[in-house]
Structure 1
Amino acid sequence: MPEVSPALTEALQALYAVEPDAFMAARRERVAAARAGGDRESATEIGKLRKPTVAAWSMNLLARQAPEVVDGLVTLGSRMRAAQARLDAATLTALRPERDEAVRRFVGATADLAQGSGRTLAPAALEDIRATAVAALADEGASTALSSGQLTRALSYSGFGEVDLSEAVARTASGAILTVVSGTGGAHADGGADEETGEQAAGSQPASAEARREELEDELAAAQRRLQQAEATVVEAREHADDTRQRLAVVERQLTKAREADERALEAVTDAVRERKQATAARDAARQALADAESGADDPT
């Protein structure tokens, strides 16, 4: 487990507390301060910290200013996962109203804090926040990431497996780095001269261009996550459709057999009715013959 330097720890605490628009400038200041202090390694790591999306920033704000809301969600998730491990369907069903209320409270509290900071969250951001709450309920790693207050993007749970935390959080609440963000290779073999040059080149880019690049990277990552989730949904829908078609085929076969049985039953009814008519006619003929015979016997002529 990599050691977190004091400069990096302070940067993590500070950077993920600032608003997204101020992140890039604050990060540059932290990089410059670490470099000025001779801590080039921390300067490099700080320079690689990703700017959070608006949804991630608002949830980080919630983790800092209303931790009881996050704690309530995390605790409920532990109870739900324990019940799931026991295959305790009754408890899971009983917890459903509490789950819905916890998610609603989480989304509402996050939106309120963002509103208090001058931001109105878009419907897409609110959906990302709700998806993160569901992920935290389902997965222990996701709940730890949420509690850290250092999310860089929203989380999502597809309904199976673990939640993907890649490039989603800088570190856990205990200080251990969960994910090393992209481009975190070590120093070059020449002792870091290229690293220094790269940092200076990055620092020389116009702030607006750098911010725009970060936004495009976030949009691309979000689009890729949505595509993966959509593909998983398609697979699940196809499996459900196949199962439905199989069950329909069974029902259709049963229906065909039932119709054949019904036709045979109707034929049997028809035959029985015909036989009854014949039996009735035979009885009536026999009665008439008997009556005629008795009438002839009584006739003296």
Structure 2
Amino acid sequence: MPDVPLPLAQAMQRLYAAGLDEFMAVRSELVARTRAEGERAMAADIGKLRKPSVAAWAVNLTARQSPEVVLALVRLGSRMRAAQGRLDTAALTALRPERDAVVRDFVEAAVRETESAGRSLGPGAREEVRATAVAALADEGAGAAVSSGQLTRALSYSGFGEVDLSEAVARTASGAILTLVPGARDEGDRAGETAGDTAGDAAGDTDQPSLGDLEQALEAADSQLAQAEQAVARARERAEETRERLAVVERQLAKAREADERALEEVTDAVRARKQAAAARSAAEQALASGSTLR
């Protein structure tokens, strides 16, 4: 690292390029050197940068060592979002094999680069890497986060809305996400625009969903919603039945505990009576023995 003061962005890139076991030491070094150079505010910002999880570190390593895999992910994500925006279900269906291949390549690259760095990814971390790839396909911001090589935790996509990036990626002081993979965001946007333009030029207005198609999609959605509501109703009925059975069992358990307490009391009384009877018998035996001796 040069002796001259470093911009925060350069310090962030240096830090998140470090090995996972070296992160804390590199951060301390950067904080100390930046503070010594009189950049106290920058030193404070560096000190707040979070250590990545194993899965996030693997994604960051992949962005640096296999940028072509990340670029393919970003480009495909842009095309998929463009098709989704046009409600082009045929295009989305056609892209499914490519989607599966790109996600698989991304996970395999992460495993390969991690092993080259002397570590391994367990099943849980591999699943987090896969979930991060899916999130990058679904959301432009998630794609930029993956391209930055500065993730602090894995990403996930719930199937609707935007991907939650809070505390998930290191940012510059202005809040911007740095893009490590050259041209990832711009080329991804162009890929999406090209996909949309090509579809429109090739088939004109006929490629746009017709009113009948939209009505069919709405009917299908209504059917799915009705089925989901029925499933919810059945689940609630089963839950209610389970609660009722549980209440019966709890009442039976309470009665059993009461019976057990009464039984214990009866045992105590019986033991006490037995002791008294034994004492009376002993006294009678002694009295009988004494009478025999006097005769």
TM-score, scaled to structure 1: 0.58
* Contact kept in structure 2, 1:139 and 1:163, CA below 8 Å: yes
Given that 1:7 and 1:34 are in contact with CA atoms closer than 8 Å, whether structure 2 keeps it comes out as no
The aligned counterpart of 1:88 is 88
How many angstroms does 1:245 deviate by?
6.6
* Structure 1 counterpart of 2:56: 56
**CA contact under 8 A between 1:148 and 1:171: conserved in structure 2?**
no
1:21 and 2:17 correspond:
no
Q: Which whole-Å CA distance do the structure 1 matches of 2:74 and 2:232 have between them? A: 40
Give yes or no for contact 1:145–1:171 (8 Å, CA) kept in 2. Answer: no
Residues 211-222 of structure 1: pairs in structure 2 closer than 5 A: none
Match of residue 243, structure 1, among 214, 224, 230: 230
Say if 1:108 and 1:93 are closer, same or farther in 2 by CA, change over 3 A: same
Q: Residue 71 of structure 1 corresponds to which residue in structure 2? A: 71
Equivalent pair of 2:136/2:143 in contact (CA under 8 Å): yes
Once the 2 structures are TM-superposed, how far is the Cα of residue 78 of structure 1 from its aligned partner?
0.3
Distance, in Å, in 2 between the alignment partners of 1:132 and 1:84 is 20
1:11 maps to 2:11: yes
Deviations 1:145-192 (A, max 9, x none): 1001111111000001100000111137xx95348xxxxxxxxxxxxx
Query: Is the contact made by 1:154 and 1:168 (CA closer than 8 Å) also made in structure 2?
Result: yes
Which secondary structure does the structure 2 equivalent of 1:118 belong to? coil
Question: Contact 1:155 / 1:164 at 8 angstroms: preserved in 2?
Answer: yes
- Amino acid of the structure 1 residue aligned with 2:11: A
Q: How does 1:128-143 map to 2 (within 5 A)?
A: 128-143=128-143
Listed as ranges, the matches of 1:219-238 within 5 Å are: none
Secondary structure of the 1:164 match is coil
Matched, 1:148 2:148: yes
Paired residues, what number? 184
> Shift of the alpha carbon at 1:246?
7.2
Query: Identity over the aligned pairs, expressed in percent?
Result: 63
Q: 1:157-168, aligned counterparts within 5 Å?
A: 157-168=157-168
**What does 1:183-222 align with in structure 2 at a 5 Å threshold?**
none
Question: What SS is found at the alignment partner of 2:64?
Answer: helix
- Opposite residue 230 of structure 2, the aligned amino acid is D
Deviations 1:262-295 (A, max 9, x none): xxxxxxxxxxxxxxxxxxxxxxxxxxxxxxxxxx
Amino acid paired to 1:170: A
Cα distance in 2, alignment partners of residues 75 and 177 from structure 1: 24
Inter-partner Cα distance in structure 2 for 1:239 and 1:15: 51
Contact 2:151 2:170 in 1 (8 A): yes
Rg larger for: 1
SS state at 1:141 partner = helix
Give RMSD over aligned pairs: 2.4
1:169·1:178 contact (CA, 8 Å) conserved in 2? no
- Evaluate the alpha carbon distance shift between residue 71 and residue 31 of structure 1 in structure 2; reply closer, same or farther with a 3 A threshold: same
Hey, what's the Cα distance between the residues in 1 that align with 2:162 and 2:232?
30
Matched residues in 2 for 1:155 and 1:245: separation?
Answer: 28
Structure 2 CA distance for aligned equivalents of residues 13 and 240 of structure 1: 49
Question: Deviations for 1:43-87, whole angstroms, at most 9, x for unmatched residues?
Answer: 100000000111111111111111100000000000000000000
Which residue identity lines up with residue 105 of structure 1 in the other structure?
A: D
Aligned to 2:42: 42
Residues in 2 aligned to 1:81 and 1:151: alpha-carbon distance in whole angstroms = 22
Rate the CA distance shift 1:114–1:240 in 2: closer, same or farther, 3 A.
Answer: farther
In 1, the alpha carbon distance for the partners of 2:227 and 2:143 equals 30
Contact in 2 for aligned 1:150/1:170 (Cα 8 Å) = yes
For 2:230 and 2:108, the matched residues in 1 are separated by 38
Q: Indicate if the aligned counterparts of 1:61 and 1:113 stay in contact, CA closer than 8 A.
A: yes
User: Is the alpha carbon distance of 1:159 and 1:40 closer, same or farther for their aligned partners in structure 2, counting shifts above 3 Å?
Assistant: same
Q: Structure 2: which 5+ residue stretches go unaligned?
A: 178-224, 235-295
Shift in alpha-carbon separation, 1:57–1:95, aligned structure 2, 3 A: same
Which SS does the other structure have where 1:73 is aligned? helix
The verdict on how the C-alpha distance between 1:240 and 1:124 changes in structure 2, with shifts beyond 3 A counting, is farther
Change (3 A) 1:94 1:27: same
Instruction: Determine the structure 2 residue equivalent to 1:177.
Output: 175
